[in-house]
Structure formats: C-alpha cells, structure tokens
Amino acid sequence: MATPLTKLYPDALPEAAQPLFINRDLSLIEFYRRVLGEALNAELPLLERVKFISIFSSLVDEFYMIRIGTLREKADGNNAISADGLTPSQQLDQIRENLHQMVAEQTRCFRDQLLPELRKNGIVLLPYSSLSSIEQQHFAEYFKEQIFPVLTPQAVDPSHPFPYISGGTLNLGLYIRPELDKRVRNALQLRAEEIFVRLKIPAFLPRLLPVPGRNETFVLIEELVKNQIALLIPGAAAEDCHEFRITRDADIELRESEAADLLEMMEQNLRQRRFGDVTRLEVSRSMPEKMCDYLSESMEIEADEVYRIDGLMKLSDIGTLTKLARPELKDRPLKVSRPGLLTDDVSMFEQIRSGDILLHHPYMPYSIVTDFIAEAADDPDVLAIKICLYRLGADSPIPPLLIRASESGKQVTALIELKARFDEGNNIEWARKLEEAGVHVIYGLLGLKTHAKTTLIVRREGDGLRRYAHIATGNYNPETSAAYTDLGLLTSNPDICADASELFNFLTAYTRPDEFRRLLVAPINLRTRMLELIEREAEHARNGRPARIVAKLNRLADHEIVNALYDASQAGVSIDLIIRGICTLRPGIPGVSDNIRVRSVVGRLLEHSRVYYFSNGGREEVYIGSSDWMPRNLDRRVEVLVPILSKELREYLRSSYLETYLGDNVNAHELSTSGNYLKVTGDDAVEQQLAQEHFENDERLEAALLASRSKLSNVANI
C-alpha cells in the first residue's frame, strides 16, 4: 500500500491525499502527449507537424518494445502496490487506456488534418485507383521487377504452421480458397475451405513510391502490393487484403555474469531480440473480425492490446516527407555560428589553454568537437587519445579519425558501449573496424553501461605533458547533434583532466580512485554528492542564507533524490526543475513540495542537456554532464558530471541559459499537482519568449567566454 503523505510528512495539509510519487510510465506517456500536441498544433509549419506525427509513432513503438513486457511480468501474479499507489495491473490498464486514445487521435490528425493540408500544398498520397492506366502500367512493371521477387506469401495449413512474424514490419493478411482437385487436397491434408495467408512487406522496400511525371505525388507500397496480389496468389483481389503489424518485446534480459565474451553475447542478444513476445497487434479497420480474432489467438494477444487503425498504419514512415525540398512548409533553418574566438589559424589546444570553452549545440556547429579530435589525430605532439563512445551512428566521422590517429602511431583507446539500446549493431560494427586498425577497444564494464561523454587528449608540451578534456551532455554523434540541444566543456584544468585519467583507468583496468578531485562519477560518488548538494541547500535555507536549486534534465525518477528535494522544499529552498520527459516528483503539495515548480519544454529540438545549479549561499556551483536523476544513471551506469569552474560561465548558465528556459511561454508546459501538464501561455502584454530560438543570437555566451579568458578564472576555486 502506498504510504500516505501525512505519514511521511506530518506537517502536510490533510487534503494532501494523493500518492507521493507520480507513476513513471504514466509520466512518460504524458511526454508522448506533449509530442502529439505539437502535431496537432495548427500554428506549426505543415511538415513540422508531419515530423511530430512520425516521432510520436516511433515513441509508442519503443514503449511497447521496452516497457510493456516488463509491466506484464510484474502484473502476472504480483499485486504489490508501488510508491505511486497502483498495482502493475492498474498501471497497465491506465497505460492502455491512454495510448488507445492518443493513437486514435494521432490517426485522426493525420487522416483528417494533415493529409488534406498536404494535398492543398501539392504533396499527395494518391490512392492506387486514382492512377491513370499508363501510371498503373508503370507500377505493374515496377512491381514485377523490383517487388515481386522479394515477396513470399506464407499459407497456414497442416504442413505450414503459423509463421514467425517479425516486429515492426507491415504485413497483409487474406483468406484464400485453393482451387485444387480432391486428390491433391487430400494429399496436402487440407480440411478447411479457406486458408489464411500472410504476406510480409520487407522493411528495405520504400514505403512511398513516387508517381512518375507528378511532382511530390506518391503511392503507398501496400496499395501497390494489394492491387498486384493476383500475380502472387491467383484469384485474390485487393479487397481481400488487410494490413496488420505487430510489436515485439525488445527488452531482452542480459545475463552478463554468465558471459565469457561481451561482444559475442551482444550479437546473440540482437538475434534473440527478434523473437521477443508479441506486445501489440495493429490491424486495419477493414479487417474482418474473424481474421483479427485468428491473429490475436495465434499470437496470444489480449483484446486490449489490439489497435484498430482507421487510417494509415506505421506513421513513423511518413517522416520521409520532411526530406522534401519545401522550406516554406518547415521551420526556418536554425542560425548556427562558430564562436569568434575559435579561429582556424589558432590551434584548438592553444585556445583551450587560454580558458575553458563552453559549447552549445546545435547553435554552435558540432564540427568544433570533430575538429578538436582531428587536430589531436594529426598533431605529432599528441601521444594518446581516450574516448567514451555511446551512440555512434552509421556514418559518424569520429571512428575514422581515431583510426587515423592509431595508424600515425598514437595510443588510442575507445570505450564502446555495446549495450546502447537499438545502436548495438552500429557499435559492434565500429568496434570491429577500430580493433582491426589497432585501436585499443574496451567493451564497457559488466553490469554497467558506460553513458559518459568524455574525451581525454594527452599532449607533449615543452619538457612535460599536458592533458585536455572534452566532457559533454550529448553523444559523439554529429547526426543527432543537429536536432538535440546539448552542452560541452573543453578544458585543460589540471584537476578535471587528472580525474578524467582516473576515470579511464577505472574503465579499462578497474582501478577505482579513492576520491575524484572535481568530477562526479556514477556509480562511485555521483549519488552521494548530489544528495549532499541538495541537503546543503536545505541547510542554507534553514540558516537564512540564499538557497536555490535549478536543474535541467531529461528524466527524474529516483525516489531518494525526490525525497531529498521534498525535504529541501520544506526547508524553504526554491526549486525549479526543467524536465523533458519522466518526472515522478509531484510539485505543489501543501507542506511538502509547494516550493517546487516543474516545467517541460517540447519544441523543434529535442532537449537533451543536463545542467545542475546550486546557489550555495552565494557561492554558486554548476555542473553539466551525462546523468539524469534516475536509478539507472546513479547506480547502474558510468556517468560523468563536470563542474563549471569559470565564474563567468557559471553566471551565464544561471542567469541566461536556465532563466531563458524558465521564461519560455511558447513551448513550455507546467506540471500540476495532479500529474497533468498545462500549457504555459504568456499574457497578451508579455512578449513571446521561445527558448530554442533565443539561443540563435546568444551574444551573452560569447561575452562570457571572452570575459572568462581575460580573467583566467577557469582555474578559480569554488
């Protein structure tokens, strides 16, 4: 049973009857609702709305791949009530109710709003029946040459059991009546008049097929296949075919303690993931009840996990429309500029020695980071490069730079996290290439994911060695850096760089340092220090000193951290949280969290940076890095937070960066005590403040960087 607030916090007002925590999965689904809200927003450019429809579809897919299986297991014979007051079965019921409503809203939005608007703007998804005879002839030839050879209809009969259905792909289902004489039918042991046939549409085939001679006009591949079905199954017709799709559980348990070879185990895990339990069945509205029931029974799917889609299925594919050259239907391009102090004629190492450099992506180009690594790869005075790689991407320029450095005789160490979910394949492929080039490749630690975003460069300078570090909130993935907001720090501070060396020794040889000088590292000292910093603010408040916490992160779901924030709120600490997704903290509870405010910003960019500010009685501390306030980040991952030692850069992050997000009245939502998010709207007399556009012309960061260098405050003690 959930502990009532009045027992945990005797001073709380009696009406505070709700549970202390918001359910983490329901909170995550509320984030999905905010993403869907962007697709529903008629004020956004049309192709931006299409983008958000596609993102929402992918998020729901991922939820069914990752969370539903876990919740099902908990619900089987487990009636334990969690801290938010719900049993696992109740959680599943509420999740399904919410997702069914939201998916229906998504379908209506695309069908009734976006498709007509796309047509008005000359972007057309044309029904196959609307094609001219010449166009139909073109597609008939295309089908024979490009599609027919890779299709394989699979009948279900005594000699063909119900087939394996891969997750995520589109399928057509139909019943056929084989025209066989009695002897053949008896030989095949066919008893039923009708036989079910499944036809998979492979994912490597394009979903949208351009209509020749018609600009930005497309036919859906499933429409073409249905209209050519008679070539595969004589006598079948388009109206006999009905789309369906399944989602499988991809959260396969890793038994790392039993693994002799982590790389081999991950390759086996990727193969095993294809055969996870079915967690969802989507069927077209036209599918007969008989066929829907047959599929549900064959794949052991409950009725509340069946989605009838009254429109297009797998809307994540429609995101390809956003690649069309239609700038008038998209957000204007972001203004990206390189800081004036980073000139091509001055070495990056010299610039970093002059003072710490705070990077803000995508407003600053990610090429600054790749240039830093490229200069290190080519500099004859650089002796060693060490880097943590979590999500690389198939075309990342960073591994080739590491290969170049290794081939030039430098000692290069790359820690590649093989367990980065859904990027395992890319990471495994890069790991093999790096190893073949002589790079020392480390596959992370058993039992821990290495999520830290850290690079260390060791360079010979004069008679000694100097170290340089890059510590960031985002992955070393230039592709995602254009769509994610992230921060990074380039520094040669001796304490930070010495800590980075200790970190890599811990990762490569399990040498655990007694104490880090500056860095906060999970699972070593990050949780303990965060709790100490929160409690220190509470103590300042109790003693009448300035006390404030502002934290910007992706997810908050750690009960120990939440309780510490509740205690700080009661002590009088003013707390502002800017949280993109999950937040299990319930703000505004009288006597418990009435000094805590929570907001979420959802816009054209994915908010990904993590910043932690503590006023500390006037002696401010600010940290940036890879970690959220989640149990997995604090206890089961290697994470790094780095302090901002420059007074000017700390002041920038507090007074400009964080305050800009707190002042957003366009893309922000505020979390209510009930767990709902309410859109923040500015007063008519108040100018619109849009954080993600504000940073395009951010002269204050440039000024802070210059001021920091003039005072050499990057080595100041806090």
Number of neighbouring beta carbons within 10 Å of residue 244: 23
Q: Which residues pair with 580 in a beta bridge?
A: none
| DSSP class of 626 | S
And the tokens for 579? 């949280």
397 upstream amide cis, omega within 30 of 0: no
Q: Could you tell me if residue 77 is left (phi over 0), alpha (psi between -120 and 50 degrees) or otherwise beta?
A: left
393-409 as b/e: b if 16+ CB within 10 A? beebebbbbbbbbbeee
- Of 242, 360, 361, 451, which is the active-site residue? 451
d(CA 694, CA 605): 13
Residue type, 138: H
Residues composing the chain: 718
CA 123 distance to own-chain centroid = 29
Q: Is 451 a catalytic residue?
A: yes
Q: What are phi and psi of 612, to 5 degrees?
A: -125, 120
27-62 as b/e: b if 16+ CB within 10 A? bbbbbbbbbbbbbbeeebbbbbbbbbbbbbbbbbbe
d(CA 418, CA 434): 14
d(CA 209, CA 324): 14
Using DSSP's 3-state secondary structure scheme, residue 641 falls into strand
Residue 267 burial class via C-beta count within 10 angstroms: exposed 0-12, middle 13-18, buried 19 and up: middle
**Residue 57 near residue 280, CB atoms below 8 Å:** no
Nearest to 179 by CA among 194, 161, 189, 196: 194
Using DSSP's 3-state secondary structure scheme, residue 324 falls into coil
Residue 630 burial class via C-beta count within 10 angstroms: exposed 0-12, middle 13-18, buried 19 and up: buried
> DSSP string spanning 450-518?
E---EEEEEEEETTEEEEEEEEESS-S-HHHHTTEEEEEEEE--HHHHHHHHHHHHHHHH----S--SS
Q: Do strands 637-643 and 195-201 pair parallel, antiparallel, or not at all (unpaired)?
A: unpaired
d(CA 373, CA 391): 17
**Residue 199 near residue 151, CB atoms below 8 Å:** yes
Radius of gyration from C-alpha coordinates of the chain: 28
C-alpha count within 13 angstroms, C-beta hemisphere, residue 2: 16
Q: Which residues pair with 629 in a beta bridge?
A: 556
Number of neighbouring beta carbons within 10 Å of residue 381: 12
d(CA 496, CA 516): 9
Nearest to 715 by CA among 618, 647, 624: 647
What amino acid positions are annotated as catalytic residues? Answer: 451
